[in-house]
């Protein structure tokens, strides 16, 4: 012990001596270094929780996954992590989420955060849960200890979600008179066995099928004769009721096959009404989030697509927990179904069907509007689509791919989506711009000859009378002079009546030279061209109206050429405005949406009811508009009018304008006729009609006769006159239209 004490004493003395001694060599004192205290700042658990939840709200699973701790990532791939979230959110039909952080607790190596998530579900309303996330501190950052309970607490322990659905019947679509356009019913697919019809019965059978399906006899014959012998030739569909009425006659024909099925049946199919299809695999998650089971048929175009929220109703659904062994527990959420609503259109089913037949198989479009309200009474686009082919239960479904891949594009709505040069119909607008400019008056005159020479000798343009003259000389080389003469001296209204190209080229060039080069284009825009009509329920395009860059373009725009592009629907809208005194109405195709109640179908208060909606007024003085209206009357009433012969004998007073527009095919221009009626009959509103026939010929030869037939159908219930290319109504012979003075 004494030895140990002596050793300690010696050690203490040595240390004290070292501290008191000065430094050696440099004279600086030696000191003991002051220890450095290093403080490490712990990251914010709340910030980590917020970053994770922000990513969850935007469903950025790729950003969420790196926030998991290493143990979780080692046991769960990013793909599985993402799929678990997607499966749960889809089962919950989540379309939006929000969160709030309730509290956080931080320790040196771990932390936890309590938070609340609200899932906004299409089916189940708001589903709210409070959860707690646990964190580990790894590499200086908080990482989440993740499991499925952080999606929904009930999923802890290997549970998953299962949805069970009861789907209500899809809503029906009716015309303005309550006639079904689309409804669930029994139908029959009609077809022929190639070579199986005795030749002597072909004509009568093809006529029977035409009346049932709307497919023209010549189309049926072409298909029948071009299928290999013995194969089934799909023709079309009809309701079981319609077939039953003709069953005795139909059953007598050999070679005819009738295959019944139950379907959402389209009585009068059109691109405006649209069609339904099953949900595609790539769309399944999106539709499940909206509350669909995935087994429904959904609207893919037209009214079927626009009206999906009404026509689909709401599914009855139960959300169950399923354990790892497949045992199903009680539902954790549920909702009752809501019946679908029915949609009534402004369309007249009979007028629509007869207007489709009136096109006589020509590609093009017809639009019929109530002149003074904007109601769409018919919207035709040819070639038409067969919406019934989209049902796999339809035996004729075998023809679906042929329809979809048809280069003539029958699914394309030419009435609202087709963009065409307007040709001489545009002269209505040019005339309005001329009168409103003050440069021209109704008494202004122009000598309309074959040629327009105001652009100089290197740029001679021609009137339609010159084109007709060249055609006559080509057809009959023995002619010493043309039958079609230049129109001569014309006032401005007479210029429209005769559709004199040089007159309107002169207007375009004159206004351009005076520094008013955009006057015509601006007037066109004020007529609603170059912009959407606002129809809403049917997809449409805007077309385009260019400004004149030089005198040549100014003359071209003035006659509806250059880069002028319009839709038939736009033309119908401004034609109606000219006829009604200047009001541009938004075209509407939905009359009302009617809820269906269990005890009294269609008895509920209408959700939506049609109301005429004015969108603007033509910037044309009343006296100038009257001049234009009178000139359009003269087009059909004056013996020199370009459509006089076509409307001879028609008892319904009309006003109109012919148009022939260059199509890129020199001998096959687009044929236009637009106009309106002035019958003023009680209970029969006057209408505006536009007809476009693609790549066929002059406006007076093709579009004008079709326009006349629509007027006859509307006021008389059926056609009254025969086309020049028909041997009888509906029976085509080689096109030989009556000779007449016709116009671009």
Q: Which DSSP string do the residues of 617-660 spell out, in sequence order? A: E-S--HHHHHHHHHHHHHHHHSTTSTTTGGGTT--S-EEEEEEE
Residue 292, in any domain of the structure: no
Stretch 124-140: mean pLDDT, rounded? 95
| Nearest alpha-carbon partner for 143 in 111, 114, 117 | 111
pLDDT for the residue 727: 83
Has residue 18 got a pLDDT over 80? no
The values of phi and psi at residue 624, to 5°, are -75, -40
Both 424 and 379 in a single domain? no
Domains of the chain: total: 3
Q: How many angstroms separate the CA atoms of 221 and 202, rounded? A: 8
Residue 427, in any domain of the structure: yes
Q: Tell me which of 131, 155, 179 is where a domain ends.
A: 155
Both 429 and 378 in a single domain? no
Residue 13, in any domain of the structure: no
Both 455 and 541 in a single domain? yes
What confidence tens digit (pLDDT) does each residue in 102-123 have? 999 999 899 999 999 999 999 9
Both 379 and 421 in a single domain? no
Both 425 and 565 in a single domain? yes
Contacts 24+ apart (CB under 8 A), 201-205: 201/253, 201/254, 205/253, 205/255, 205/256
| Helix, strand, coil percentages for the chain (3-state, nearest 5) | 35, 25, 40
CATH assignment of the domain containing 496: 3.40.710.10
Both 644 and 727 in a single domain? yes
Both 502 and 362 in a single domain? no
Both 641 and 708 in a single domain? yes
CATH assignment of the domain containing 108: 3.10.450.100
pLDDT band of residue 405 (cuts 50, 70, 90) is: very high
| Nearest alpha-carbon partner for 47 in 162, 149, 141 | 141
Q: Tell me which of 107, 138, 155 is where a domain ends.
A: 155
pTM of the predicted model as reported, rounded to 2 decimal places: 0.88
Contacts for 230 with CB less than 8 Å, ≥ 6 apart: 193, 194, 195, 196
Both 425 and 353 in a single domain? no
The values of phi and psi at residue 331, to 5°, are -65, 140
Residue 252, in any domain of the structure: no
CATH assignment of the domain containing 704: 3.30.450.330
What confidence tens digit (pLDDT) does each residue in 489-529 have? 999 999 999 999 999 999 999 999 999 999 999 999 999 99
Has residue 738 got a pLDDT over 80? no
Residue 87, in any domain of the structure: yes
pLDDT for the residue 603: 54
Q: Which residue bears the tokens 């689909």?
A: 312
pLDDT band of residue 607 (cuts 50, 70, 90) is: confident
Q: Tell me which of 137, 155, 173 is where a domain ends.
A: 155
530: left (phi over 0), alpha (psi -120 to 50) or beta: left
pLDDT band of residue 321 (cuts 50, 70, 90) is: very high
Beta bridge partners of 263: 185
Both 575 and 683 in a single domain? no
What confidence tens digit (pLDDT) does each residue in 370-383 have? 999 999 999 999 99
Both 557 and 664 in a single domain? no
DSSP H helical ranges for 394-546: 400-404, 414-417, 427-437, 464-475, 492-498, 501-513, 519-526
| Lowest model confidence (mean pLDDT) among 1-15, 69-83, 250-264, 266-280 | 1-15
Both 555 and 656 in a single domain? no
pLDDT for the residue 734: 53
pLDDT for the residue 220: 95
How much is the mean pLDDT over the chain? 91
CB atoms within 10 A of CB 282: 7
Residue 507, in any domain of the structure: yes
Which residues form the domain of 489?
A: 417-581
- Percentage of the chain surpassing pLDDT 70? 92
pLDDT band of residue 667 (cuts 50, 70, 90) is: confident
Stretch 118-146: mean pLDDT, rounded? 96
| Both structure tokens of 102 | 């309730």
Q: What is the CA radius of gyration of the chain?
A: 38
Has residue 12 got a pLDDT over 90? no
| Lowest model confidence (mean pLDDT) among 33-42, 107-116, 161-170, 550-559 | 33-42
Residue 218, in any domain of the structure: no
Residue 659, in any domain of the structure: yes
Q: Pairing state of beta strands 341-345 and 173-174?
A: parallel
| Lowest model confidence (mean pLDDT) among 171-180, 233-242, 475-484 | 475-484
């Amino acid at each position: 012990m004494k030895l140990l004490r002596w050793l300690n004493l010696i050690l203490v003395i040595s240390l004290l001596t070292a501290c008191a001694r000065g430094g050696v060599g440099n004279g600086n004192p030696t000191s003991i270094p002051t220890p450095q205290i290093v403080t490490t700042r712990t990251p914010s658990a709340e910030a980590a929780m917020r970053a994770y939840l922000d990513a969850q709200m935007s469903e950025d699973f790729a950003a969420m996954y790196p926030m998991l701790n290493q143990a979780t990532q080692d046991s769960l791939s990013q793909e599985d992590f993402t799929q678990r979230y997607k499966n749960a959110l889809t089962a919950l039909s989540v379309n939006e989420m929000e969160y709030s952080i309730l509290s956080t607790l931080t320790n040196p190596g771990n932390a936890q955060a309590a938070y609340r998530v609200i899932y906004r579900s299409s089916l189940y309303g708001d589903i709210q849960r409070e959860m707690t996330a646990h964190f580990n501190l790894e590499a200086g950052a908080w990482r989440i200890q993740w499991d499925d309970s952080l999606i929904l607490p009930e999923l802890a322990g290997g549970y998953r979600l299962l949805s069970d659905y009861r789907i209500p019947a899809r809503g029906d679509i009716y015309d303005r008179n309550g006639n079904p356009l689309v409804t669930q019913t029994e139908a029959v697919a009609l077809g022929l066995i190639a070579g199986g019809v005795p030749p002597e019965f072909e004509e009568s059978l093809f006529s029977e099928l035409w009346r049932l399906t709307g497919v023209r006899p010549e189309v049926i014959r072409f298909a029948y004769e071009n299928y290999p012998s013995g194969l089934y030739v799909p023709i079309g569909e009809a309701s079981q009721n319609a077939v039953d009425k003709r069953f005795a006659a139909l059953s007598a024909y050999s070679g005819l096959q009738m295959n019944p099925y139950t379907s959402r049946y389209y009585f009068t199919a059109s691109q405006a009404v649209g069609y339904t299809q099953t949900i595609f695999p790539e769309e399944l998650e999106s539709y499940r989030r909206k509350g669909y089971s995935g087994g429904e048929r959904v609207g893919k175009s037209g009214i079927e697509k626009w009206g999906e929220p009404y026509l689909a109703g709401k599914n009855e659904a139960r959300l169950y927990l399923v354990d790892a062994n497949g045992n199903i527990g009680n539902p954790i959420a549920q909702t009752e179904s809501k019946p679908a609503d029915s949609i009534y259109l402004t369309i007249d089913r009979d007028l629509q069907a007869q207007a489709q037949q009136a096109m006589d198989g020509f590609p093009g479009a017809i639009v019929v509007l109530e002149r003074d309200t904007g109601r769409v009474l018919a919207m035709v686009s040819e070639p038409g689509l067969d919406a019934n082919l989209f049902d796999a239960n339809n035996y004729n479904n075998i023809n679906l791919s042929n329809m979809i891949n048809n280069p003539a594009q029958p699914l394309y709505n030419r009435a609202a989506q087709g963009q065409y040069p307007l040709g001489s119909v545009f002269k209505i607008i040019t005339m309005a711009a001329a009168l409103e400019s003050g440069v021209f008056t109704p008494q202004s005159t122009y000598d309309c000859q074959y040629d327009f020479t105001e652009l100089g000798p290197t740029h001679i343009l021609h009137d339609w009378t010159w084109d007709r003259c060249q055609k006559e000389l080509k057809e009959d080389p023995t002619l010493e002079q043309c039958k079609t003469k230049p129109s001569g001296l014309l006032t401005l209204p007479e210029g429209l009546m005769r559709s004199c190209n040089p007159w309107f080229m002169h207007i375009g060039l004159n206004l351009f030279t005076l520094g008013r080069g955009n006057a015509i284009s601006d007037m066109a825009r004020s007529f609603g061209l170059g912009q959407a009509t606002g129809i809403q329920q049917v997809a449409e395009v805007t077309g385009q109206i260019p400004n004149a860059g030089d005198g040549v373009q100014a003359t071209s725009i003035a006659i509806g050429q250059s880069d002028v592009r319009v839709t038939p629907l736009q033309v119908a809208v401004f034609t109606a405005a000219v006829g009604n005194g200047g009001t541009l109405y938004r075209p509407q195709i939905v009359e009302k949406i009617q809820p269906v109640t269990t005890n009294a179908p269609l008895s509920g208060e209408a959700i939506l009811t049609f109301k005429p909606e004015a969108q603007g007024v033509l910037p044309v003085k009343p006296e100038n508009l009257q001049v234009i209206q009178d000139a359009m009357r003269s087009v059909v009433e004056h013996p020199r009018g370009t459509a006089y012969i076509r409307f001879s004998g028609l008892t319904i007073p009309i006003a109109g304008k012919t148009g022939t527009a260059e199509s890129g095919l020199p001998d096959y221009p687009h044929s236009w006729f637009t106009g309106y009626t002035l019958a003023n009959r009680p209970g029969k509103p006057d209408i505006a009609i536009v007809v476009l026939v693609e790549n066929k010929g002059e406006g007076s030869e093709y579009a004008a006769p079709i326009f006349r037939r629509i007027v006859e159908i509307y006021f008389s219930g059926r056609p009254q006159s025969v086309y020049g290319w028909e041997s009888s109504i509906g029976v085509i012979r080689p096109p030989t239209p009556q000779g007449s003075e016709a116009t671009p």
